[in-house]
Amino acid sequence: MSKLNAKEYQSFEDIRKTDKDGNEFWSARDLQEVLKYTQWRNFLKVVDKAMLSCKNSGNAISEHFADVSKMIEVGQGGQRRVDDFQLTRYACYLIVQNGDPRKEVIALGQTYFAIQTRRQEVADHFNQLDEDSKRLIIRGDVRQWNKMLAESARNAGLITDEEYAIFQNAGYKGLYGGLSVQDIHSRKNLGEKDKILDFMGSEELAANLFRITQTESKMRRENVQGADAANETHYEVGSKVRQTIKELGGIMPENLLTPEKSITEIEREQIKALKEKGKQLMLDE
Protein backbone atom coordinates (compact mmCIF):
# COMPACT_ATOMS: atom_id res chain seq x y z
CA MET A 1 0.00 0.00 0.00
CA SER A 2 1.47 3.36 -0.96
CA LYS A 3 1.96 6.14 1.59
CA LEU A 4 -0.87 8.09 0.00
CA ASN A 5 -3.26 5.14 0.16
CA ALA A 6 -2.16 4.33 3.71
CA LYS A 7 -3.13 7.85 4.73
CA GLU A 8 -6.49 7.68 2.95
CA TYR A 9 -7.37 4.33 4.52
CA GLN A 10 -6.02 5.15 7.98
CA SER A 11 -9.45 5.91 9.43
CA PHE A 12 -10.53 2.33 8.75
CA GLU A 13 -7.32 0.99 10.29
CA ASP A 14 -7.73 3.20 13.35
CA ILE A 15 -11.07 1.64 14.29
CA ARG A 16 -9.98 -1.96 13.64
CA LYS A 17 -9.89 -3.99 16.83
CA THR A 18 -8.63 -7.43 17.81
CA ASP A 19 -10.33 -9.84 20.20
CA LYS A 20 -8.59 -12.05 22.76
CA ASP A 21 -8.11 -14.77 20.13
CA GLY A 22 -6.39 -12.42 17.72
CA ASN A 23 -9.36 -12.07 15.36
CA GLU A 24 -9.89 -8.63 13.85
CA PHE A 25 -13.26 -6.90 14.00
CA TRP A 26 -14.91 -3.50 13.66
CA SER A 27 -17.60 -1.80 15.74
CA ALA A 28 -20.62 -0.71 13.72
CA ARG A 29 -20.84 2.43 15.85
CA ASP A 30 -17.25 3.31 15.00
CA LEU A 31 -17.80 2.54 11.32
CA GLN A 32 -20.89 4.76 11.34
CA GLU A 33 -18.76 7.73 12.34
CA VAL A 34 -16.02 7.05 9.79
CA LEU A 35 -18.62 6.71 7.00
CA LYS A 36 -20.16 10.01 8.13
CA TYR A 37 -23.63 8.83 9.00
CA THR A 38 -24.79 11.23 11.69
CA GLN A 39 -27.76 9.18 12.92
CA TRP A 40 -27.67 5.55 13.96
CA ARG A 41 -31.18 4.82 12.63
CA ASN A 42 -30.10 5.88 9.13
CA PHE A 43 -26.93 3.83 9.30
CA LEU A 44 -28.94 0.86 10.58
CA LYS A 45 -30.87 0.82 7.28
CA VAL A 46 -27.57 0.26 5.46
CA VAL A 47 -26.62 -2.46 7.95
CA ASP A 48 -29.97 -4.19 7.36
CA LYS A 49 -29.34 -4.23 3.60
CA ALA A 50 -25.86 -5.61 4.22
CA MET A 51 -27.32 -8.39 6.37
CA LEU A 52 -29.72 -9.30 3.57
CA SER A 53 -26.81 -9.43 1.12
CA CYS A 54 -24.95 -11.66 3.57
CA LYS A 55 -27.90 -14.04 3.80
CA ASN A 56 -28.44 -14.11 0.03
CA SER A 57 -24.76 -14.92 -0.47
CA GLY A 58 -25.16 -18.07 1.60
CA ASN A 59 -23.37 -16.79 4.69
CA ALA A 60 -24.64 -16.90 8.27
CA ILE A 61 -25.52 -13.40 9.45
CA SER A 62 -24.56 -14.24 13.03
CA GLU A 63 -21.01 -15.09 11.96
CA HIS A 64 -20.43 -11.65 10.48
CA PHE A 65 -22.82 -9.35 12.41
CA ALA A 66 -22.57 -10.20 16.10
CA ASP A 67 -25.07 -8.41 18.36
CA VAL A 68 -23.22 -6.58 21.11
CA SER A 69 -23.61 -3.40 23.11
CA LYS A 70 -21.27 -0.64 24.20
CA MET A 71 -21.19 2.28 26.60
CA ILE A 72 -21.18 5.77 25.16
CA GLU A 73 -20.66 9.09 26.87
CA VAL A 74 -23.62 11.41 27.32
CA GLY A 75 -23.92 14.89 28.79
CA GLN A 76 -21.94 15.89 31.88
CA GLY A 77 -19.79 12.80 32.10
CA GLY A 78 -22.63 10.30 32.08
CA GLN A 79 -22.77 7.05 30.14
CA ARG A 80 -25.46 4.86 28.65
CA ARG A 81 -25.51 1.48 26.95
CA VAL A 82 -26.42 1.33 23.25
CA ASP A 83 -26.86 -1.46 20.71
CA ASP A 84 -23.91 -2.24 18.45
CA PHE A 85 -22.60 -4.91 16.09
CA GLN A 86 -19.21 -6.57 16.07
CA LEU A 87 -18.42 -6.78 12.37
CA THR A 88 -16.07 -8.97 10.37
CA ARG A 89 -14.18 -7.52 7.44
CA TYR A 90 -16.74 -9.16 5.13
CA ALA A 91 -19.60 -7.48 7.00
CA CYS A 92 -17.88 -4.10 6.64
CA TYR A 93 -17.44 -4.78 2.93
CA LEU A 94 -21.17 -5.48 2.54
CA ILE A 95 -22.04 -2.32 4.47
CA VAL A 96 -19.93 -0.04 2.27
CA GLN A 97 -21.24 -1.82 -0.83
CA ASN A 98 -24.75 -0.88 0.27
CA GLY A 99 -23.81 2.69 1.18
CA ASP A 100 -24.15 5.76 -1.00
CA PRO A 101 -21.37 5.45 -3.64
CA ARG A 102 -21.50 9.23 -4.19
CA LYS A 103 -19.80 9.72 -0.83
CA GLU A 104 -16.04 9.67 -1.26
CA VAL A 105 -15.51 7.91 2.06
CA ILE A 106 -17.80 5.09 0.88
CA ALA A 107 -15.68 4.65 -2.24
CA LEU A 108 -12.55 4.52 -0.06
CA GLY A 109 -14.23 1.97 2.18
CA GLN A 110 -15.13 -0.21 -0.77
CA THR A 111 -11.51 -0.26 -1.88
CA TYR A 112 -10.14 -0.80 1.63
CA PHE A 113 -12.43 -3.66 2.60
CA ALA A 114 -12.56 -5.37 -0.79
CA ILE A 115 -9.14 -4.92 -2.38
CA GLN A 116 -6.81 -4.33 0.56
CA THR A 117 -8.27 -7.04 2.78
CA ARG A 118 -5.56 -9.15 4.34
CA ARG A 119 -7.69 -12.11 5.20
CA GLN A 120 -9.41 -12.27 1.84
CA GLU A 121 -12.80 -13.04 3.36
CA VAL A 122 -14.63 -11.72 0.34
CA ALA A 123 -12.32 -13.35 -2.17
CA ASP A 124 -12.47 -16.70 -0.41
CA HIS A 125 -16.24 -16.80 -0.63
CA PHE A 126 -16.30 -15.43 -4.17
CA ASN A 127 -13.93 -18.11 -5.35
CA GLN A 128 -16.39 -20.77 -4.19
CA LEU A 129 -19.03 -19.52 -6.61
CA ASP A 130 -19.47 -20.92 -10.08
CA GLU A 131 -18.64 -18.75 -13.09
CA ASP A 132 -22.25 -17.79 -13.80
CA SER A 133 -22.77 -16.57 -10.23
CA LYS A 134 -19.54 -14.57 -10.36
CA ARG A 135 -20.70 -12.93 -13.59
CA LEU A 136 -24.07 -12.02 -12.07
CA ILE A 137 -22.49 -10.42 -9.01
CA ILE A 138 -19.92 -8.36 -10.92
CA ARG A 139 -22.45 -7.36 -13.59
CA GLY A 140 -24.66 -5.97 -10.82
CA ASP A 141 -21.78 -3.87 -9.52
CA VAL A 142 -21.04 -2.66 -13.06
CA ARG A 143 -24.65 -1.50 -13.49
CA GLN A 144 -24.51 0.48 -10.26
CA TRP A 145 -21.20 2.14 -11.02
CA ASN A 146 -22.09 2.89 -14.63
CA LYS A 147 -24.97 4.97 -13.30
CA MET A 148 -22.54 6.90 -11.12
CA LEU A 149 -20.16 7.31 -14.05
CA ALA A 150 -22.99 8.68 -16.18
CA GLU A 151 -23.75 11.22 -13.46
CA SER A 152 -20.10 12.29 -13.31
CA ALA A 153 -20.12 12.66 -17.08
CA ARG A 154 -23.19 14.90 -16.91
CA ASN A 155 -21.51 16.99 -14.22
CA ALA A 156 -18.53 17.35 -16.56
CA GLY A 157 -20.81 18.79 -19.23
CA LEU A 158 -21.64 15.78 -21.40
CA ILE A 159 -25.32 16.28 -22.17
CA THR A 160 -26.27 14.42 -25.33
CA ASP A 161 -26.39 10.67 -25.95
CA GLU A 162 -23.79 11.12 -28.68
CA GLU A 163 -21.37 12.83 -26.29
CA TYR A 164 -21.80 10.07 -23.74
CA ALA A 165 -21.31 7.37 -26.39
CA ILE A 166 -18.00 8.97 -27.41
CA PHE A 167 -17.02 9.15 -23.73
CA GLN A 168 -17.81 5.45 -23.21
CA ASN A 169 -15.91 4.57 -26.38
CA ALA A 170 -12.82 6.34 -25.04
CA GLY A 171 -12.75 4.10 -21.97
CA TYR A 172 -13.12 0.94 -24.01
CA LYS A 173 -10.36 2.06 -26.40
CA GLY A 174 -8.02 2.60 -23.48
CA LEU A 175 -8.71 -0.79 -21.92
CA TYR A 176 -8.92 -2.74 -25.19
CA GLY A 177 -5.80 -1.39 -26.87
CA GLY A 178 -7.57 0.94 -29.30
CA LEU A 179 -10.58 -1.26 -30.09
CA SER A 180 -13.86 0.66 -30.21
CA VAL A 181 -17.23 -0.46 -28.90
CA GLN A 182 -18.16 -1.55 -32.42
CA ASP A 183 -14.88 -3.46 -32.78
CA ILE A 184 -15.47 -5.34 -29.53
CA HIS A 185 -19.07 -5.99 -30.48
CA SER A 186 -17.92 -7.51 -33.77
CA ARG A 187 -15.13 -9.60 -32.19
CA LYS A 188 -17.70 -11.16 -29.88
CA ASN A 189 -20.06 -11.85 -32.80
CA LEU A 190 -22.94 -10.18 -30.99
CA GLY A 191 -26.36 -9.36 -32.34
CA GLU A 192 -27.39 -5.78 -32.99
CA LYS A 193 -29.28 -5.44 -29.69
CA ASP A 194 -26.82 -7.42 -27.56
CA LYS A 195 -24.92 -5.55 -24.84
CA ILE A 196 -21.17 -6.11 -24.66
CA LEU A 197 -21.16 -6.25 -20.85
CA ASP A 198 -23.71 -9.07 -20.87
CA PHE A 199 -21.29 -11.24 -22.86
CA MET A 200 -18.23 -10.95 -20.64
CA GLY A 201 -16.80 -13.55 -18.32
CA SER A 202 -16.08 -12.64 -14.69
CA GLU A 203 -12.43 -11.71 -15.38
CA GLU A 204 -13.33 -9.35 -18.22
CA LEU A 205 -16.19 -7.84 -16.21
CA ALA A 206 -13.86 -7.24 -13.26
CA ALA A 207 -11.39 -5.36 -15.48
CA ASN A 208 -14.20 -3.15 -16.76
CA LEU A 209 -15.56 -2.60 -13.25
CA PHE A 210 -12.14 -1.32 -12.18
CA ARG A 211 -12.03 0.96 -15.23
CA ILE A 212 -15.46 2.37 -14.39
CA THR A 213 -14.95 2.89 -10.65
CA GLN A 214 -11.55 4.53 -11.08
CA THR A 215 -12.76 6.82 -13.87
CA GLU A 216 -15.75 7.94 -11.81
CA SER A 217 -13.56 8.55 -8.77
CA LYS A 218 -10.91 10.49 -10.73
CA MET A 219 -13.48 12.68 -12.51
CA ARG A 220 -15.22 13.52 -9.25
CA ARG A 221 -12.01 14.02 -7.30
CA GLU A 222 -10.40 16.27 -9.92
CA ASN A 223 -13.64 17.98 -10.97
CA VAL A 224 -13.02 17.16 -14.63
CA GLN A 225 -14.89 19.56 -16.93
CA GLY A 226 -15.58 19.44 -20.66
CA ALA A 227 -16.03 16.60 -23.13
CA ASP A 228 -12.40 16.52 -24.23
CA ALA A 229 -11.07 16.30 -20.67
CA ALA A 230 -13.63 13.66 -19.73
CA ASN A 231 -12.81 11.53 -22.76
CA GLU A 232 -9.08 11.85 -22.08
CA THR A 233 -9.60 10.84 -18.44
CA HIS A 234 -11.62 7.76 -19.39
CA TYR A 235 -9.07 6.71 -21.99
CA GLU A 236 -6.18 7.26 -19.58
CA VAL A 237 -7.75 5.15 -16.83
CA GLY A 238 -8.61 2.38 -19.29
CA SER A 239 -5.03 2.38 -20.58
CA LYS A 240 -3.59 2.16 -17.07
CA VAL A 241 -5.86 -0.76 -16.20
CA ARG A 242 -4.65 -2.47 -19.37
CA GLN A 243 -1.02 -1.76 -18.44
CA THR A 244 -1.58 -3.27 -15.00
CA ILE A 245 -3.01 -6.44 -16.56
CA LYS A 246 0.04 -6.63 -18.82
CA GLU A 247 2.47 -6.16 -15.94
CA LEU A 248 0.74 -8.92 -14.00
CA GLY A 249 1.02 -11.26 -16.97
CA GLY A 250 -2.74 -11.40 -17.47
CA ILE A 251 -4.71 -11.99 -20.65
CA MET A 252 -5.74 -8.86 -22.49
CA PRO A 253 -9.54 -8.38 -22.24
CA GLU A 254 -10.11 -8.64 -26.00
CA ASN A 255 -8.48 -12.08 -25.95
CA LEU A 256 -10.63 -13.53 -23.17
CA LEU A 257 -13.27 -16.06 -24.20
CA THR A 258 -16.81 -14.81 -24.78
CA PRO A 259 -19.36 -16.81 -22.75
CA GLU A 260 -22.05 -18.60 -24.70
CA LYS A 261 -24.84 -17.43 -22.39
CA SER A 262 -25.64 -13.79 -21.77
CA ILE A 263 -26.21 -12.38 -18.30
CA THR A 264 -29.88 -12.01 -19.22
CA GLU A 265 -30.15 -15.73 -20.00
CA ILE A 266 -28.48 -16.66 -16.73
CA GLU A 267 -30.79 -14.37 -14.77
CA ARG A 268 -33.85 -15.90 -16.42
CA GLU A 269 -32.63 -19.43 -15.67
CA GLN A 270 -31.90 -18.66 -12.02
CA ILE A 271 -35.22 -16.89 -11.48
CA LYS A 272 -37.02 -19.86 -13.05
CA ALA A 273 -35.09 -22.26 -10.82
CA LEU A 274 -35.99 -20.24 -7.72
CA LYS A 275 -39.66 -20.25 -8.66
CA GLU A 276 -39.62 -23.99 -9.29
CA LYS A 277 -37.82 -24.55 -6.01
CA GLY A 278 -40.45 -22.45 -4.24
CA LYS A 279 -43.26 -24.50 -5.75
CA GLN A 280 -41.51 -27.72 -4.75
CA LEU A 281 -41.12 -26.50 -1.19
CA MET A 282 -44.84 -25.75 -1.01
CA LEU A 283 -45.64 -29.28 -2.20
CA ASP A 284 -43.27 -30.78 0.36
CA GLU A 285 -45.02 -28.92 3.14
Tell me what the mean pLDDT of segment 182-194 comes to.
93
Answer yes or no: is 150 within a domain: yes
| Number of independent structural domains in the chain | 2
- What is the spatial distance between Cα 48 and Cα 42, in angstroms, rounded to a whole number? 10
pLDDT at 258 over 60: yes
Binned at pLDDT 50, 70 and 90, residue 267 comes out as confident
Answer yes or no: is 113 within a domain: yes
Of 60, 91, 125, which marks where a domain is finished? Answer: 125
Q: Are residues 144 and 187 in the same domain?
A: yes
Burial of 101 (0-12, 13-18, 19+ CB in 10 A): buried
Answer yes or no: is 225 within a domain: yes
Answer yes or no: is 274 within a domain: no
- What is the spatial distance between Cα 249 and Cα 241, in angstroms, rounded to a whole number? 13
Q: Are residues 134 and 243 in the same domain?
A: yes
Q: What is the pTM of this model?
A: 0.57
Tell me what the mean pLDDT of segment 13-31 comes to.
88
- What is the spatial distance between Cα 56 and Cα 133, in angstroms, rounded to a whole number? 12
Sign of CA dihedral 43, 49, 53, 59: positive
Of 81, 99, 125, which marks where a domain is finished? Answer: 125
Q: Are residues 102 and 190 in the same domain?
A: no
pLDDT at 6 over 70: no
Answer yes or no: is 217 within a domain: yes
Q: Are residues 142 and 254 in the same domain?
A: yes
Q: Are residues 77 and 103 in the same domain?
A: yes
pLDDT at 66 over 50: yes
Range of the domain at 28: 3-125
Closest by alpha carbon to 126, among 53, 214, 196, 47? 53
Phi and psi angles of residue 86, each rounded to the nearest 5 degrees, phi first = -95, 115
